[in-house]
């Protein structure tokens, strides 16, 4: 694999490993990204606890966690807050701007090492942009998107991309065209064989 230093990260590389404290079921736990080898991981960064767009995203991913789990996938949320801030936010009701109990770990990146490794830190604000990364069972980064601070992501699109990744890894002779959903036609990446797809659509 090629170099993954800050600024060099790209899909197709091994995702930078990390060890950090996370809040899991209202308890503190040391986790490593490499502990999830053999499973897919949706790793998403968000700016700060107790803010505005962030709880909507975190709650939405938690509410849909079962769909990801059914696809052998764990979700990890991460910000520059401490584990203590994470715990306080989890213990705050959603109606009061908290996130309530979550179905996945919230990771503390208080030293900002992880955000730097994934090249999502905003130097002006000192927080992470809304980076989202899908990492496969072998620890390889397959998908990366980064939103600016003021607007959130779409869980359905993350799920769709995850399903597409899993499909092409299970069916390496196929590729997924635009807006592909499970059950849709795929394409064989060959100048002649691909014509069957184009003829059908």
Q: Where are the domains of the chain?
A: 19-157, 171-201
Give the Cα separation of 184 and 42 in Å (integer): 23
CATH class of 19-157: alpha beta
Give the Cα separation of 138 and 83 in Å (integer): 28
Q: What is the pLDDT of residue 4?
A: 42
- Mean pLDDT, consecutive 10-residue stretches, the chain (201 aa), reads 56 98 98 98 98 96 98 98 98 95 98 97 95 98 97 97 98 97 96 91 82
Q: What is the pLDDT of residue 3?
A: 41
Q: What is the pLDDT of residue 70?
A: 98
Q: Using CB atoms within 10 Å of the CB of residue 188, give its burial: 0 to 12 exposed, 13 to 18 middle, 19+ buried.
A: middle
Catalytic site includes residue 54: yes
Catalytic residue among 54, 117, 120, 159: 54
């Amino acid at each position: 694999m090629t170099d993954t230093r800050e600024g060099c990260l790209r899909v197709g590389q091994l995702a930078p490993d990390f060890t950090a404290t996370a809040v899991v079921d209202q308890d503190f736990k040391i986790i490593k990204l490499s502990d999830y080898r053999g499973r897919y991981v949706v790793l998403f960064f968000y700016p700060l606890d107790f803010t505005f767009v962030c709880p909507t995203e975190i709650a939405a991913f938690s509410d849909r966690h079962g769909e990801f789990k059914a696809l052998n996938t764990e979700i990890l949320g991460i910000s520059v807050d401490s584990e203590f801030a994470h715990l306080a936010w989890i213990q705050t009701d959603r109606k009061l701007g908290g996130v309530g109990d979550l179905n996945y770990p919230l990771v503390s990146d208080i030293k900002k090492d992880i955000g730097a490794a994934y090249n999502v830190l905003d130097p002006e604000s000192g927080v992470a942009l809304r980076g989202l990364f899908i990492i496969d069972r072998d620890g390889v980064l397959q998908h990366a998107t980064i939103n600016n601070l003021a607007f959130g992501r779409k869980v359905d699109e993350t799920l769709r991309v995850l399903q597409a990744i899993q499909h092409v890894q299970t069916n390496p002779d196929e590729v997924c065209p635009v807006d592909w959903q499970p059950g849709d036609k795929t394409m064989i990446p060959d100048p002649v064989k691909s014509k069957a797809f184009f003829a059908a659509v």
